[in-house]
Every structure is written in structure tokens, then in C-alpha cells.
Structure 1
Amino acid sequence: MSLFLFDIFDLFQTKIGFLKALFYYGILILPIPLLIMEFKANRNLSEPILRKGIPILTIIGLIYLNPLKILFHTQTWKTQTVELINENKENHKVEFQMKDVGALGYAKRNAEVYYLTKHFYLVLSENYDDRNFIETDWKRVDQNINEIGLK
């Protein structure tokens, strides 16, 4: 659940689209059968209410976050260009990224990211400014990656 919240708020990201979609659809679908199973089970009313409360609170939280927004969040950010690389830590980069949002086109961002592995990374800043990187240990590379496959 914490990975879901980190991803919703763009703190922790993955590039594995199938894993992200599976996790999101599971979060959307799983609380409903859990709640039904809890109410169908023959239990005393003295059973802890927490068992029923967790699926109910999860459903309320999902409604608050808007299920359609969650479905549109299943797409992963794809790197188009690596603009800057930190000379001391090669996993620390500034990238131009795009995400397919269906009929709305592509969402775009310049993000300062720190790669934990090849497929998992932390987003340190979504609004990078060139002035923040003047006279520091950054090297401009402007390497074209084109993960989305645009021509």
C-alpha cells in the first residue's frame, strides 16, 4: 500500500508497466471481495471491527483519489532524453520524460531522478531549472533515449 501512495504522489516510480498496472488494478479490485467475505463470514459481533474497517477505509480512500485518475496513472513515465548526469553519482540524472495519457496525448516533464536499479527510481524534483545546476558536478549529455518510440 505504501508503494501505491509513493507512486500516486510521484515519489517512487517504476519503468515496468505490467507490474505497475497489475498493482493498481489489484488495489482497485481487491477491497470489494475482501469486504464481501468479511460480511458473509459467520462471526460474532464482538470480532474486531478493524477487519471490516480496513477494506471500508481502502474503498473510501480510493473513491477520494478518484478511480479514473488511478486508472490513468497506470502508465509509466518513459525517458526521452537524458539531459544531465551527476559526475559523482551516475545514477543521479535529469531527464525529459513523457507518459501516454490516452486520447489526451502525452504528459511531459523534466525530472531530476535517482535510479535505485535499472527499473526503479526516486523522483527528486519534477520542476528542474537549469540555474540550479550551474557550477555543480553536473555534465550535460543530451543523450536521446526515446523509450516511447516516437519518430
Structure 2
Amino acid sequence: MVIFLEIGFGIELRHQPLKSLVYFGLLGIAPTLFVISLYNLNRKPFFGGVLSLLVLLGIGFQGPLNIVFASSIWKTQKILKKLPQFPNQQIELQFQDVGAFGYNRRTVKATYFAGVFMKVREVKNETLK
């Protein structure tokens, strides 16, 4: 569910242990459910088998290493601009550690919700000047 929020709506988790739990849980639970559904296949139809097979195909298509690297959070390096009319919004320069590949960098307009979630929208550096 959280992964679909990140992909579709730009809502991201800011809490590293929770985000890692979700992403690594996806990598661990999908194969386990698939094996269980194969074991129960001759007994009765099992909807979890179809769902876990689709998740496994998605993991295979995306690549498990990309999912592991996507599990790290974006960290704010610098607040470029605070918006006085909206106290929970600011424009930030963020970095994401991707292991041996270095760092990803982005400039976003971040809106913070409830301490754990933030909604981000990419902004161009030209609009800041």
C-alpha cells in the first residue's frame, strides 16, 4: 500500500525503519505466500497465490536490487525556501543514499503530514531564483 502511495501520489515515508520494513517485507512475504499457495493448490483455490505471483513478477521486472535501494529515505540537506503562508511546506534540497552507486539528488516542494509522511513535488531550480 505504501509503495503505491509513493509511486502514484508522491506521498513518501520519512521514517527509515518503517520504510525498510515495508520494502523488505514485500521482498520476503511474496515468495513465502507463493510457496504456501503452491502447497495448498491441490486442496483449494487460494487467492493469495495469484496476488503473490503478481508481486513476484513485479519484483522480477523491477529488480530486487532497485527495490532495496529505493527503501532508503530522502534526507533534507538544505532548506532552500520556507513558505510563510503554509508552515508545513518548504522547498528543500534532498539526497538519497543508493549504496555503491552514490547519491540521488532532487529539489522538491515538501508538505509534511503527521511526522511520518510527506507529499513531494519536484521543482526546477530556475523557479527558485
TM-score, normalised via structure 1 length: 0.75
* Number of the residue aligned with 2:114: 117
AA paired with 2:38? F
Is 1:54 the equivalent of 2:56? no
Residues 10-40 of structure 1, C-alpha deviations (whole Å, 9 max, x = no match)? 8111221111111101001101111111121
Q: How far off its partner does 1:9 sit? A: 5.9
Cα deviation for residue 5 of structure 1 reads 2.2
Once the two structures are TM-superposed, the CA of residue 120 in structure 1 deviates from its matched residue by 1.5
Change (3 A) 1:117 1:51: closer
Q: For residues 35-75 of structure 1, what are the alpha-carbon distances to aligned partners after superposition, in whole Å with 9 as ceiling and x for unaligned?
A: 1111212514xx36x34211111111111121111011111
Residue in structure 2 matched with residue 127 of structure 1 by the alignment:
123
**Contact kept in structure 2, 1:98 and 1:106, CA below 8 Å:** yes
Instruction: Give the counterpart letter for 1:26 in structure 2.
Output: G
CA distance in 2, matches of 1:116, 1:122: 8
The number of equivalent residue pairs is 128
Q: Which amino acid aligns with 1:128?
A: K
The CA RMSD over aligned residues, in Å, is: 2.1
Percentage of matched positions with identical amino acids: 27
Residue in structure 2 matched with residue 138 of structure 1 by the alignment: none
- In the TM superposition, 1:1-151 aligns within 5 A as 2-8=1-7, 11-41=10-40, 43-44=43-44, 47=45, 50-123=47-120, 125-131=121-127
CA distance in structure 2 between the partners assigned to 1:104 and 1:33 by the alignment: 30
Distance 1:8 1:71, change over 3 A: farther
- Report the Cα distance in structure 2 between the residues aligned to 1:69 and 1:51, rounded to whole angstroms: 24
Structure of larger gyration radius: 1
CA distance in 2, matches of 1:31, 1:101: 24
CA distance in structure 2 between the partners assigned to 1:51 and 1:31 by the alignment: 9
Q: Which has the higher helix share?
A: 2
Any gaps of 5 or more consecutive residues in structure 1? 135-151
| Gap change, CA 1:10 and 1:73, over 3 Å in 2 | farther
